[in-house]
Amino acid sequence: MIALYDINVVDGTQVVPMEDGEFTISISIPESMQKFDTYKAFYIDNDGKIAETLDAKLENGKVVFTTTHLSTYGVLGYNNVIEENPKTSDINLPAMIGLILTALFGATFALRKRLSKVNK
């Protein structure tokens, strides 16, 4: 996590309530925190829980995201890790499905046979 921000419109010392709308928020972050591949903003509700996660992007040293309300937000930066899947041999999908269905039918038949013996 980079930091938490209390985002409101203030007139002097009073918080001004804002009408419902869409707001583009732009937060300057230190250069040391501008090294990540991906950024997310997250809304923190009055109970201190993450109530919403928003996509964000880095533009000219600022994390930018759009929201429909002003409140407390956190900004998270992270690097995408790309893992290559190991190479596997090709499988015969129809044969695999047939094998699975055969096993399921066999298990169902065996279970019904046991249940019929128990219920006698």
The answer to whether the pTM exceeds 0.75 is no
In a domain? residue 38: yes
In a domain? residue 85: no
Q: Are strands 3-6 and 50-59 parallel, antiparallel or unpaired?
A: unpaired
In a domain? residue 43: yes
- What is the count of structural domains for the chain? 1
pLDDT at residue 108 greater than cutoff 60: yes
pLDDT at 97: 67
Percent of the chain at pLDDT > 70 equals 68
Question: What one-letter code names the amino acid at 16?
Answer: V
In a domain? residue 97: no
Q: Which domain holds residue 55?
A: 3-78
pLDDT at residue 45 greater than cutoff 90: no
In a domain? residue 115: no
Cα–Cα distances in angstroms (integers) from residue 13 to residues 10, 17, 32, 65, 73, in the given order: 6, 13, 32, 25, 20
pLDDT at 59: 95
pLDDT at 65: 95
pLDDT at 93: 62
In a domain? residue 8: yes
In a domain? residue 52: yes
In a domain? residue 68: yes
